[in-house]
C-alpha cells in the first residue's frame, strides 16, 4: 500500500524551496493536514539528510539543490519497505490459488517495485518544482 507520505514530502520540499521561512503550521495549511503530520514527515526528511532546521529559527532548508534530490531519495526517506505491496497472510494451502498466490505475487510485485523505483530515480525535485512554477 503506497500511502500519501511521498506526495506530502514532495509538497513540503517544494514549498520549503520557494519559502524557506515556512513553518509547520503554514505547510500544514498548504497540504490541508494537521501540523503534527507535517512535523512527523519533516522529521523523516531531516533524518535522511534532505532537510534541515535550526532551533529557534523559523523554517527549514533543503540540504541539496532540488536538481540533486531525486524523487527516489524522498521516497526512501518516508516510505517503509513493508508498506509498498502487502500480501495477505495465511492463504488456504489446500486451494490451488491459495497455495501459489504469495510466491506469484512476490515476483510480480518485485518487478513492479523495481520499475517504480527506477522511474523515481529519473525524476528530481527540480522537475516537480519546474511544473509547479512554470
Q: Is 125 in contact with 13 (CB distance < 8 Å)?
A: yes
Phi, psi of 62 (to 5 degrees): -70, 140
Give residue 117's Cα distance to chain centre: 11
Q: Is 35 in contact with 42 (CB distance < 8 Å)?
A: no
| pLDDT score at 82 | 61
Does pTM surpass 0.75? yes
Q: Which of 18-22, 55-59, 61-65, 129-133 has the lowest mean pLDDT?
A: 55-59
**CATH 1.10.10.10 describes domain 5-133:** yes
| pLDDT score at 80 | 74
Q: Which of 76, 73, 85, 12 is nearest to 42 (CA)?
A: 12
- Mean predicted confidence (pLDDT) in 23-32: 95
Locate the domains of the chain by residue range.
5-133
Quick one: pLDDT band at residue 81, thresholds 50, 70, 90? Answer: low
Q: Strand, coil or helix: what is 122?
A: coil
Amino acid at each position: 500500500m503506497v500511502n500519501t507520505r511521498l506526495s506530502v514530502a514532495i509538497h513540503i520540499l517544494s514549498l520549503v524551496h520557494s519559502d524557506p521561512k515556512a513553518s509547520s503550521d503554514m505547510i500544514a495549511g498548504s497540504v490541508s493536514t494537521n501540523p503534527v503530520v507535517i512535523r512527523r514527515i519533516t522529521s523523516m526528511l531531516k533524518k535522511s539528510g534532505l532537510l534541515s532546521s535550526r532551533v529557534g529559527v523559523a523554517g527549514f532548508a533543503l540540504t541539496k539543490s532540488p536538481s540533486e534530490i531525486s524523487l527516489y531519495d524522498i521516497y526512501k526517506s518516508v516510505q517503509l519497505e513493508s508498506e509498498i505491496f502487502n500480501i495477505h497472510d495465511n492463504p488456504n494451502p489446500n486451494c490451488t490459488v491459495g497455495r501459489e498466490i504469495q510466491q506469484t505475487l512476490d515476483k510480480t510485485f518485485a518487478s513492479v517495485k523495481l520499475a517504480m523505483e527506477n522511474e523515481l530515480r529519473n525524476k528530481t525535485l527540480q522537475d516537480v518544482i519546474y511544473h509547479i512554477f512554470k
